[in-house]
Amino acid sequence: VWIYSLEVLDVDQPQVAIEVECSSGTYVRSLAADMAHELGTCGHLGALRRLSSGSFRIEEALPSRGIGKDICSKELAERVIPLRDALPDMQEIRVSHSMAESIGRGRSPGLSELPGGPPPPGRQGRHVKLVRGDRLIAIGLVETGPGRGRGRVKLVRVLGNEN
């Protein structure tokens, strides 16, 4: 795990408020206990609030208590992020209509079958989005084989043509 920044926001004994920017997989509750241990005392997390995750930020979120009451269904529909757009950092591979149908039936496409050729080198073991038009069809894992263009995109989650 990586701690990119840790800032003490407030000290009101016995409580301390901090803001942590960290990598995924960091157990912030364990971090708090470890910090207390290093200071020669005991401690725990009294509250935890995630301010961001990937490309999502708290400023863009809707408060859950307002959904269904203060937010009309039209506004809510306008704020829902399409699945394809919810994964902005994942490489996108566009597929043909026939390939989308084949993927929908569970067939993992070979890298040589993909439009524009196989994903760039170094994509082995990386997830990719398979899309048709503006729809996310599937999420796959690039598995390369010996030689250029060998291998496949192993399907991890198939969403089909209607998502």
What would the pLDDT profile of 81-111 be if each residue is shown by its tens digit?
A: 888 888 888 889 999 999 999 999 999 998 8
Cβ neighbors of 155 (< 8 A, separation 6 or more) are: 103, 106, 107, 108, 138, 139, 140
> In terms of DSSP bridges, do strands 135-144 and 151-158 run parallel, antiparallel, or are they unpaired?
antiparallel
> In terms of DSSP bridges, do strands 91-94 and 127-132 run parallel, antiparallel, or are they unpaired?
parallel
**pTM assigned to the model:** 0.61
User: What average pLDDT does the segment 137-163 reach?
Assistant: 80
Instruction: Please check whether residue 124 is in contact with residue 144, taking contact to mean a CB–CB distance below 8 angstroms.
Output: yes
pLDDT digits (tens, 9 = 90+) for 101-139: 999 999 999 888 887 665 666 556 789 999 998 899 999
CA-angle at 143, arms to 130 and 115, nearest 5°: 40
Query: Which of 102, 104, 98 has its CA nearest to residue 136?
Result: 104
How many helical (H) and strand (E) elements, i.e. helices and strands, does the chain have? 3, 8
